[in-house]
């Protein structure tokens, strides 16, 4: 993500969460929390300008990670 200043409470929440809770790599439940906060931020503030493109791209990447996790879980359940 570009080093833009996203001065929104939801982004601050994500950064605090990453600093205090995720000591190394986020796990699957962490990705869900981050995606929910990011989705809230976008729904409240995104005016479809280019300023928000990096946040929209991150949301898409997180969606892919979460879908991959769901497929793995479903595969194990149905195996």
Write the pLDDT tens digit of every residue in 14-73: 999 999 998 788 888 999 999 999 999 999 999 999 999 999 999 999 999 999 988 887
- The verdict on residue 64 lying in a domain is yes
Structural domain harbouring 29: 9-78
**Is 3's pLDDT higher than 60?**
no
Q: How confident is the model at residue 1 (pLDDT cuts 50, 70, 90)?
A: very low
**pLDDT: which is higher, 44 or 3:** 44
Residue keyed to tokens 């979460």: 66
DSSP assignment letter at 21: T
Number of H helices, E strands in the chain: 3, 0
Identify the pLDDT of residue 50: 96
Say how many C-beta atoms besides its own lie within 10 A of residue 20's C-beta: 8
Q: What is the pTM of this model?
A: 0.83
- The verdict on residue 25 lying in a domain is yes
- The verdict on residue 31 lying in a domain is yes
- The verdict on residue 2 lying in a domain is no
Structural domains counted in the chain: 1
């Amino acid at each position: 993500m570009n080093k833009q200043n996203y001065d929104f409470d939801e982004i601050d929440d994500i950064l605090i969460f990453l600093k205090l809770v995720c000591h190394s790599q986020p796990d699957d439940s962490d990705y869900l929390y981050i995606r929910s906060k990011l989705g809230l931020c976008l729904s409240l503030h995104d005016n479809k300008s280019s300023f928000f493109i990096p946040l929209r791209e991150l949301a898409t990447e997180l969606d892919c990670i979460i879908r991959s996790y769901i497929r793995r879980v479903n595969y194990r359940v149905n195996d």
